[in-house]
Structure 1
Amino acid sequence: MISWRKHYKRGLIAIGLLLSTSASIYAQGDAKNGEKLFKANCTACHALDKQMVGPALGGVVDRLKKEQNLDTDWLHKWIKDNKALRASGDKYANEVYEKFNKTEMPAFPALSDQDIDDILEYTTNPPAPEPAADAAATAGTDSMAALEAANKESANSKIILISLFAIGGLLLWLLFKLRQLVKLQQSEELAGLNETRATSFADMYKRYHYVGKGILVVLGVLAAYGIWNWMMWIGVYKGYKPEQPIYFSHKIHAGENKIDCQLCHSSAKYGKVSEIPSMNVCMNCHRTISEYNGKYMEPGKDKAFYDGEIKKIYAATGWDPEKQQYTGKTQPVEWTRIHNMPDFVYFNHSQHVVAGEQAIINSFNKKNPDAKIDVVCKACHGQIDTMNVVQMANDFTMGWCIECHRTTEVDMNNGYNKEYFKNLHEKLKKQYGSGTKITVDAIGGLECGKCHY
């Protein structure tokens, strides 16, 4: 009996030591610092609560201990140089590599042991968010906004009421004046005057036919001008911004995240047409970005809205974010084209982006000192990095193009122009002098055949 009690007590002590050892794993690091390190180094491939490119890391320390009987030393080796760990013949390291499609995790030799402990502490005991202050501030802001809206509505109601009283008073005053005019019309003093006045349209036209003909001529000219002006603006859609099947904010991508235009529209530099990027281009980033965590929110939009649009990308490409693999079931996206030149107009993007890039930027900035641009795309497409919904920023008429060709100075230091227009450049210098500015129209920019088939 005594022996049994001794063993019982020893068992309890052993369990206590085991639990204390296990608990110490969770108390080796700083979770707040670990959160910063995790977001800086790990979020491209990992999340705490779901599988992405790599496995979910929430509770990874405890899970690894239970399933593989591996401690944090193994995790240190894996994080610092997983390739070396696999090369050493570590069985579980190679299993993980095979399981996740042989996607090699980057090595992090710069992370210290304490940094890794902080990250592991964050994955085990992530610090609770502190929404109270934000919620209170939001509630306060909403309350103030509601109060301001109520005050504004009350003020508007008063203005409407006063306006109605004013209109009513004006109508009464007009009625009073009309009664006075009627009485005056019935007086004997105006009887003789009424006999000399025209009582029909025919009499009026007979007396004032010259004035009438003049008015008709003016009206005819105005009508002709109106028709001509209307016809000249057929096909001009400045400000056109259709709703797209998947919401895409250029302000978030090009503005907030500083993504270069040509990363997505690569053919603008090398081809005639700047094509709509394929959904595979979107997936280059959104394969690992499954939710929106940016600070910028367009008025009327929230995180749930942006997350829903990302899910549309997954549906279109047939991507399963849970299994991190393609299903093969794709859905075509019917984008609405915004910029579309007529069939009889030839326009080459690469010619402007490569040969004319610096010339166009310099010309635009010279003419618009208060709205300078840093990329050539903005000269035609406007401040695209500020647009939530892309719209046609310019007229894109023939006159608009010709004006640009007449005022844009050719950059003869450009390697393409320097070689291609070498002889023409020398000829123009001899003809107009070495200091003469050469604009696009001087190198054939106004020839009909340059732009029309």
Structure 2
Amino acid sequence: MISWRKHYKKTLIAIGLLLSTSASFYGQDGDPKNGEKLFKANCTACHALDKQVIGPPLKGVVERVKTEGGVDKDWLHKWIKDNKALRASGDKYANEIFEKFNKTEMLQFPNLTDKDIDDILAFTTNPPAPEPPKADDKATATAGATAAPADKTTTNIVIISLLAIAGLLVWILVKLRQLVTLGQSEELAGLNETRVRSFKEMYEKFHFIGKGLLAILAILAAYGVWNWLMWIGVYKGYKPEQPIYFSHKIHAGEQKIDCQLCHSSAKYGKVSEIPSMNVCMNCHRTISEYNADHYMEPGKDKAFYDGEIQKIYAATGWDPAKQQYTGKTQPVEWTRIHNMPDFVYFNHSQHVIAGEQAIINSFNKKNPNNKIDVVCKACHGKIDTMNVVQMANDFTMGWCIECHRTTEVDMNNGYNKEYFKNLHDKLKKQYPQDGGKITVAAIGGLECGKCHY
């Protein structure tokens, strides 16, 4: 009996040690919540939990390395902190992984402490369940779905009301005509016989007034035609649908991506080109789904955004499962929004570099309640607030001239101070009405040959 109890105690101790060792091995001695933050900050560029990105999926990685390579958590610590040194030491499993993933070298994280790595491994072993969306978020998500039926109902009510009003007006006119007919006297009937009954008779009787009215109508018609011609090609507010949905509000607004990261030639070239799909893939090679639940447009859900990312993969021939290009690409037919006429010369670099601060200062002076921080916004509007890009200004000749007349050139910067050294005083005397201020117009900004050649 004593012997049995003795063995029973030993068995319980062994089971306890086994459980504690197992829990420690599988990453449960870390903090999964802190591990989630560290994972997002350090790992998501190359890894996801449940699918391969550049590197393998990391969910259950502790158990996987034990099964595949017979290594423990200490090996993972060495691999994460300095996998290059681990491979150089001749570690068989480390070199097998390196070969398996096309010799893609993993970043080294010597800055992570053992506690940090334990927290990350705890997160990959047992990720915390996502928090349920708040009531406000649900209301926002369903706003788009309910908006369309509500708008349709309102439209129907308005149409029915207008038809009812039209019917009532017709009935009133009929009744008034009947009353007028019944109320006509013999004297009034006699007068009606003498009234003008044709346009010819009216013109002969009132020809002076008629000629005057025709002259006025001719002038108004000529003005209307001229005004119509002047607005040909002016498409302020134009915002076409694109083959791949791209929200500048998400990228430039929410994510704070610099305009010139994608439109790189705007700073050093004449034209601000449409970014190639390879530029998109710089980020979306690892971002294969939309996870910014804090911002979704009304009527759009995660599935919509994920589908648009898949269009990028189809255009570039990227296989997210194999993490490689297939070579089967598809052209993307973007709809151009801003298009200068062929007879107009406009150089982006001249405005973005030479005129950057002058344009920003001029715009903010004229719009104190709507200031800008990037020169692009002076012409293209606050594009970081647009989900669908639209033409924000007229882009007419008059619009450009007005900008040249009011934008003051910075004569104190190194280039202008030296270039206009002998011209500075002369310009101040030539344009005293501006209080000595030198505008773009004063240095040739209104010369025809600057924009037309």
Same fold (TM over 0.5): yes
Q: Structure 1: state its 5+ residue gaps.
A: 1-9
RMSD: 3.2
Query: Aligned residue for 1:436?
Result: 436
The AA in structure 1 aligned to 2:29 is Q
List per-residue Cα deviations over 1:51-110 (Å, max 9, x = no partner): 111111011111111111100001111112223322323222233233333333222233
The AA in structure 1 aligned to 2:302 is K
8 A Cα contact 1:355 1:416, kept in partner = no
Distance in 1, matches of 2:225 and 2:309, equals 47
Alpha-carbon distance, 1:204 to partner: 1.8
- Give the percent of matched residue pairs that are identical in Structure 1 and Structure 2: 78
Distance in 1, matches of 2:143 and 2:231, equals 46
Distance in 2, matches of 1:259 and 1:414, equals 28
Query: Aligned residue for 1:346?
Result: 345
Query: Aligned residue for 2:282?
Result: 284
Q: Under a length normalisation based on structure 1, what TM-score does the superposition of the two structures give?
A: 0.88
8 A Cα contact 2:429 2:436, kept in partner = no
Query: Aligned residue for 2:255?
Result: 257
Distance in 2, matches of 1:194 and 1:372, equals 68
Structure-to-structure mapping, 1:54-453, within 5 angstroms: 54-131=55-132, 134=133, 169-185=168-184, 187-294=185-292, 295-429=294-428, 436-453=436-453
Distance in 2, matches of 1:144 and 1:428, equals 59
The AA in structure 1 aligned to 2:227 is N
8 A Cα contact 2:266 2:273, kept in partner = yes
Query: Aligned residue for 1:3?
Result: none
Distance in 2, matches of 1:218 and 1:158, equals 41
8 A Cα contact 2:141 2:299, kept in partner = no
Secondary structure of 1:401 counterpart:
helix
**Which of 14-23 and 95-104 deviates more?**
14-23
Query: Aligned residue for 1:46?
Result: 47
Distance in 2, matches of 1:145 and 1:118, equals 39
The AA in structure 1 aligned to 2:281 is M
Query: Aligned residue for 2:36?
Result: 35
Distance in 2, matches of 1:90 and 1:30, equals 29
Distance in 2, matches of 1:364 and 1:140, equals 38
Q: 1:143 to 1:388 in 2, by over 3 A?
A: closer
Distance in 2, matches of 1:332 and 1:366, equals 43
Alpha-carbon distance, 1:150 to partner: 9.1
Q: 1:390 to 1:280 in 2, by over 3 A?
A: same
Distance in 1, matches of 2:78 and 2:452, equals 65
8 A Cα contact 1:355 1:414, kept in partner = no
Alpha-carbon distance, 1:371 to partner: 1.2
Alpha-carbon distance, 1:182 to partner: 0.7
Alpha-carbon distance, 1:130 to partner: 3.5
Query: Aligned residue for 2:4?
Result: none
Q: Structure 2: state its 5+ residue gaps.
A: 1-9
Distance in 2, matches of 1:414 and 1:430, equals 21
Q: Under a length normalisation based on structure 2, what TM-score does the superposition of the two structures give?
A: 0.88
Q: 1:389 to 1:114 in 2, by over 3 A?
A: same
List per-residue Cα deviations over 1:239-271 (Å, max 9, x = no partner): 222221111111111111111111111111111
Query: Aligned residue for 1:21?
Result: 21
